[in-house]
Amino acid sequence: MSGSFHLPTAIVVTGAFLLVLGLLRLLRQGRRGSRGFVSDVDHATHATLHTASMASRHLQDGLTPEGTARAAKHLRALLGSPAIAVCDPFSLLAWEGVADHHRDRARADAEEVLTTGRTIVLGQDAVGCDDPDCPVKTAVIAPVVTEDRVVASIAAYGPQAYAGLARATEEVARWVATQAELAELGRERTRTMEAELRALRAQISPHFIYNSLAAIASFVRTDPERARELLLEFADFTRYALRRGGAFTTLAEELRNVERYLTLEQARYGDRMRISLMVAPEVLPVTVPYLAIQPIVENAVRHGIAGKEGGGQVSIVATDRGSEAEIAIEDDGTGAEPEVIRRALDGLADSDSVGLGNVDARLRQVYGDDFGLVVETAPGAGTKVTFRVPKYAPGVHA
């Protein structure tokens, strides 16, 4: 299984590096032989990275009109042009800078680039206006290409077009294309996670629901107050498990739902199931994927404790590991063949431990391959499932 964060991170680093490299190459060509060259380059590197970072914040959802309009001023700063225009195949997304009277022609100016995918230079005969003081007389227009498709164009308008500006415009256009690809990967990751969550909700055991209601019913006459409390726990559990909302929650909320689940299971198993819960207070606010722990605990109960004569214990430990939180779920039940667990983590349909594969896939999608489930088990030796989550990860919040 591959994590979706490695590729975007590589794209970010590569895109930023190429952008800085391209713009600094232009700086070197323009200032070769001048004094203070190293300090000028250092300053330009910092300024370029900072400006690119500011622009990327507004492009995280892709080339939307709102985000592009906010990013445009930073893109213009990268190009050093009096005005820039960003167009998609249908409309003008943003005009930034002076000479606002040229904006109505920007989409028409970009038509050839959007159609052919080639950079063009427009002279004064195509761009110029009747105002002799207008700084917009020429334009360099470059395509923004993702997956061999022209999705937008960037035009740098100014008093003159020169080779350095053309190269810089192409570098910025390539960097914007990288941001658009990152946004699409983010949307794809979200769609995948939503599909995984739908699948997990559908896998909530009908046997668990039936057995929980049966256990509640058994207390109606003998202990009505206990039946009432269990019914409320059942309602809260199903409300949380079937909620429609974000893909993340806090560790505190996730553990609270695990407690509801275990309360209902203890109503069935009684003294045959013992629970141990140890949580470092520092990790309670940490963001975790929604329904990341309960399926593992359910697996421990169904496949570990339920099949063991005399029952057993389920332990949940959440530990502070500096920049990470570590969660471990362990049972002293029947254990399993490692090959069975391997098939579960691979998401094979004939495995009964479907929750493990689902949680493992979502952890890897969010944080990368280093953050998948670690399972230790053997027949008769119980099972321990451990995973780590960073206390902070970009784009991950409850």
- Tell me, what's the pLDDT at 394? 75
Contacts of 368 (CB under 8 A, 6+ apart): 3, 5, 6
DSSP 309: T
CA distance 200 to 167: 49
Q: The dihedral of CA 48, 54, 58, 59: what is its sign?
A: positive
Is the pLDDT at 380 greater than 50, yes or no? yes
CA distance 387 to 339: 19
CA distance 305 to 287: 29
User: What's the pLDDT tens digit per position in 164-193?
Assistant: 999 999 999 999 998 888 877 766 666 666
Q: The dihedral of CA 27, 30, 33, 34: what is its sign?
A: negative
Q: What is the mean pLDDT of residues 230-247?
A: 81
pLDDT band at 33 (very low <50, low <70, confident <90, very high): very low
User: What's the pLDDT tens digit per position in 45-84?
Assistant: 677 777 878 888 888 888 999 999 999 999 999 999 999 9
- Tell me, what's the pLDDT at 41? 59
Is the pLDDT at 85 greater than 50, yes or no? yes
- Compare 361 and 322 and report the one with higher pLDDT: 322
> Please, what is the average pLDDT of the chain?
83
Residues 121 and 134: beta-carbon distance below 8 Å: no
pLDDT band at 354 (very low <50, low <70, confident <90, very high): low
CA distance 51 to 79: 11
Cα distances from 83 to residues 39, 179, 344, in angstroms, run: 28, 21, 56
Beta strands in 224-351 (DSSP E): 248-250, 273-279, 287-289, 312-321, 324-331
pLDDT band at 23 (very low <50, low <70, confident <90, very high): low
Residues 173 and 154: beta-carbon distance below 8 Å: yes
What residues does 387 pair with on adjacent strands?
327
